[in-house]
């Protein structure tokens, strides 16, 4: 069951970005499993990738190509992750790029390849290259819906974002699509995200924005703590809107664009959490009062990853003892338990090293009965704040992940 629906919106076109999804029959016949982006000349592209030491072949190739050339195409296949495929995997990812480069007379480094699906199986290269001509012929500015569906694997629904704003009479668009059912299946559910705007942004600033937005979104969601071999998130600026280049010093335009890009990332990340398989609760863990960012994150992840807390959330049980225990073992140096305050939504449950005097089980129960739950922790030792989104842990989670492959 998916909670807290984040609907796939009506997608506006993004000037300079054409896309499509075609059927290559990688895993299923008649499924649009290859997505192609075509970017206008002069587009800038930035990326944030998995830090997994077993990163997939396409991730390695993406990093190389982003550093080497101006990107014109992105090709994404679902159904096969091309991960843990050794040297052959690298050759296959590069061959995919070469096939496009040859047909378009460009350099292979101008293409970024992405794969998502089963780990450890050789990429069915011939199936993919066979549909590249069809994909190149069919790219169009209204292909966002097809692309959003085409990158899905175990997702129960496509994830999309589209917003426009005006600046000096010109309309700027920010679109995004993503896939991932909460990283709960690295074999099949890599997190992929593609966010595009038609504003003009130089590559270094774009990379800064891509990093900042990912840190505030995809890097703050967790279903079970596992990180995929293929996670990738790309930010595209086509520069096709007739406005000057957006610089960090540009004031209003920059701030508006930055806010919209971050909003896109956050919306897509939350869409992924809310589609976590087996999820019945959408949980926001907000840690404030930290002496630094790292300790806020350590506490947030300790709470968000605790199977004990997650099963209690599934049971709608306001089991504050488990929350307190997780805060306590998060490894925060010299944490003074007496200064920690914990709220469930706005209900104070813990202070002075124990249950708040004002707290009643009925108050906690009322919060836990909802589908959206906020666990708000103040460490009482500084001004840093971090927020993490996660889900509960249900029978369904075990069933899906135990039954998968059987």
Would you count residue 327 as binding its own copies (CB under 8 A)?
A: yes
Q: Spell out the alpha helix ranges (H) of 285-350.
A: 293-305, 307-314, 320-328
Residues 90, 209: Cα–Cα separation, whole Å = 29
- Reply yes or no on whether 280 is catalytic: no
Sole binder of its own copies in the list 184, 191, 206, 241 (CB under 8 A): 184
In the bound state with its own copies, the residue whose beta carbon lies nearer, of 250 and 371, is 371
Residue 18 makes CB contacts below 8 A (sequence gap 6+) with 37, 38, 139, 140, 141, 143
239-298: contacts with its own copies (CB under 8 A): none
Stretch that binds its own copies, among 138-146, 167-175, 245-253, 310-318 (CB under 8 A): 310-318
Catalytic residue of the set 20, 173, 190, 260: 190
Stretch that binds its own copies, among 156-164, 267-275, 369-377, 387-395 (CB under 8 A): 387-395
Residues 296, 332: Cα–Cα separation, whole Å = 9
Would you count residue 380 as binding its own copies (CB under 8 A)?
A: no
What per-residue string of b and e applies to 42-72 under the rule 16 or more CB within 10 Å gives b? ebbbbbbbbebeebbbbbbbbeebbeebbbb
Closest separation in Å from C-beta 148 to its own copies: 25
Stretch that binds its own copies, among 31-39, 128-136, 156-164, 300-308 (CB under 8 A): 300-308
Would you count residue 154 as binding its own copies (CB under 8 A)?
A: no
Euclidean distance between the first and the last CA atom of the chain, given in angstroms as a whole number: 21
In the bound state with its own copies, the residue whose beta carbon lies nearer, of 29 and 402, is 402
Distances (CA, A) of 172 to 161, 200, 268, 348: 14, 10, 19, 43
Would you count residue 83 as binding its own copies (CB under 8 A)?
A: yes
What is the Cβ-side half-sphere exposure of residue 4, based on CA atoms within 13 angstroms? 26
Residue 20 makes CB contacts below 8 A (sequence gap 6+) with 35, 36, 135, 138, 139, 140, 143, 146, 147
Sole binder of its own copies in the list 74, 119, 210, 237 (CB under 8 A): 119
Would you count residue 52 as binding its own copies (CB under 8 A)?
A: yes
Of 46, 15, 48, 21, which is closest to residue 36 (Cα–Cα)? 21
Sole binder of its own copies in the list 245, 321, 358, 369 (CB under 8 A): 321
DSSP structural state of residue 201: -
In the bound state with its own copies, the residue whose beta carbon lies nearer, of 247 and 399, is 399
Residue with tokens 């047909």: 103
Would you count residue 64 as binding its own copies (CB under 8 A)?
A: no
Sole binder of its own copies in the list 15, 127, 185, 200 (CB under 8 A): 185
Would you count residue 145 as binding its own copies (CB under 8 A)?
A: no
> Which residues are paired to 78 by β-bridges?
116
Sole binder of its own copies in the list 64, 208, 215, 317 (CB under 8 A): 317
Distances (CA, A) of 280 to 311, 344, 363, 392, 396: 11, 17, 20, 6, 9
Would you count residue 1 as binding its own copies (CB under 8 A)?
A: no
Sole binder of its own copies in the list 114, 218, 314, 389 (CB under 8 A): 314
Would you count residue 226 as binding its own copies (CB under 8 A)?
A: yes
Would you count residue 155 as binding its own copies (CB under 8 A)?
A: no
What is the Cβ-side half-sphere exposure of residue 242, based on CA atoms within 13 angstroms? 3
Q: Which active-site residues does the annotation give?
A: 190
What residues line the site for its own copies (CB under 8 A)? 50-55, 83-86, 89, 118-120, 184-187, 224-229, 305-308, 311-312, 314-315, 317, 319-322, 324-330, 332, 335-338, 340, 350, 352-355, 393-395, 397-399, 401-406
């Amino acid at each position: 069951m998916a909670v807290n629906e984040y609907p796939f919106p009506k997608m506006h076109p993004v000037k300079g970005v054409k896309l499509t999804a075609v059927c290559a029959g990688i895993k299923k016949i008649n499924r649009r499993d290859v997505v192609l982006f075509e970017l206008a000349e002069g587009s800038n592209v930035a990326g944030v990738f998995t830090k997994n030491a077993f990163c997939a072949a396409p991730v390695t190739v993406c990093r190389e190509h982003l550093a080497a050339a101006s990107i014109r195409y992105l090709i994404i296949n679902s159904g096969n992750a091309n991960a843990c495929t050794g040297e052959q995997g690298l050759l296959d990812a590069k061959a995919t790029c070469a096939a496009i480069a040859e047909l378009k007379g460009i350099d292979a480094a101008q293409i970024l390849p992405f794969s998502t699906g089963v780990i450890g199986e050789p990429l069915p290269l011939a199936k993919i290259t066979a549909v590249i001509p069809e994909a190149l012929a069919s790219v169009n500015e209204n292909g966002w819906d097809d692309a959003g569906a085409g990158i899905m694997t175990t997702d129960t629904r496509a994830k999309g974002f589209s917003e426009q704003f005006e600046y000096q009479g010109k309309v700027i668009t920010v679109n995004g699509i993503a896939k991932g059912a909460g990283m709960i299946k690295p074999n099949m559910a890599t997190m992929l995200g593609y966010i595009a705007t038609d504003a003009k942004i130089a590559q270094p600033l774009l990379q800064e924005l891509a990093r900042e937005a990912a840190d505030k979104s995809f890097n703050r969601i967790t279903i079970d703590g596992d990180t995929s071999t293929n996670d990738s998130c790309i930010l595209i600026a086509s520069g096709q809107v007739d406005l000057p280049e957006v610089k960090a010093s540009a004031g209003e335009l920059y701030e508006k664009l930055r806010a919209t890009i971050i909003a896109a990332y956050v919306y897509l990340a939350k869409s992924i959490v809310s589609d976590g398989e087996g999820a019945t609760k959408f949980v926001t863990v907000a840690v404030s009062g930290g002496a630094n960012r790292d300790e806020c994150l350590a506490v947030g992840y300790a709470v968000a990853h605790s199977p004990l807390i997650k099963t209690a959330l599934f049971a709608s049980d306001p089991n504050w003892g488990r929350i307190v225990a997780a805060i306590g073992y998060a490894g925060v140096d010299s944490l003074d338990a007496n200064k920690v305050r914990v709220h469930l939504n706005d209900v104070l449950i813990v202070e002075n090293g124990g249950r708040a005097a004002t707290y009643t089980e009925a108050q906690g129960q009322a919060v836990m009965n909802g589908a959206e739950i906020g666990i708000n922790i103040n460490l009482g030792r500084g001004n840093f704040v971090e927020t993490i989104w996660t889900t509960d842990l249900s029978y369904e989670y075990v069933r899906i992940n135990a039954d998968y492959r059987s």
